[in-house]
Amino acid sequence: MATGSGARSKTAERILDIAERLVQTRGFNGFSYADISAQLGITKASLHYHFATKDELGAMLITRYRDAFVDALRAIDGEGESSLHKLNAYVKLYEDVLRRDRMCLCGMLAAENRTLSREMQTLVHGFFDANERWLATVVDRGRANGELRFSGSAVDQARLLVVALEGAMLVARGCGEPARFTVAAARLLDQLTIASPPRAGRRSRAP
What is the C-alpha separation between 153 and 150, in angstroms, rounded? 8
Residue 112 contacts by C-beta under 8 Å, 6 or more apart in sequence?
A: 27, 28, 29
Per-position pLDDT tens, the chain of length 207: 333 444 578 999 999 999 999 999 999 999 999 999 999 999 999 999 999 999 999 999 999 999 999 999 999 999 878 999 999 999 999 999 999 999 999 999 999 999 999 999 999 999 999 999 999 999 999 999 999 999 999 999 999 999 999 999 999 999 999 999 999 999 999 999 975 443 344 333 333
The CATH number of domain 54-191, selected from 1.10.579.10, 3.40.50.720, 1.10.357.10, 1.10.10.10: 1.10.357.10
SS3 6: helix
pLDDT (0 to 100) of residue 4: 41
What is the C-alpha separation between 106 and 113, in angstroms, rounded? 10
pLDDT (0 to 100) of residue 135: 98
* Spatial contact of 117 and 59, defined as CB atoms under 8 Å apart: yes
* Spatial contact of 87 and 189, defined as CB atoms under 8 Å apart: yes
pLDDT (0 to 100) of residue 190: 95
User: How is the chain split into domains, by residue range?
Assistant: 54-191
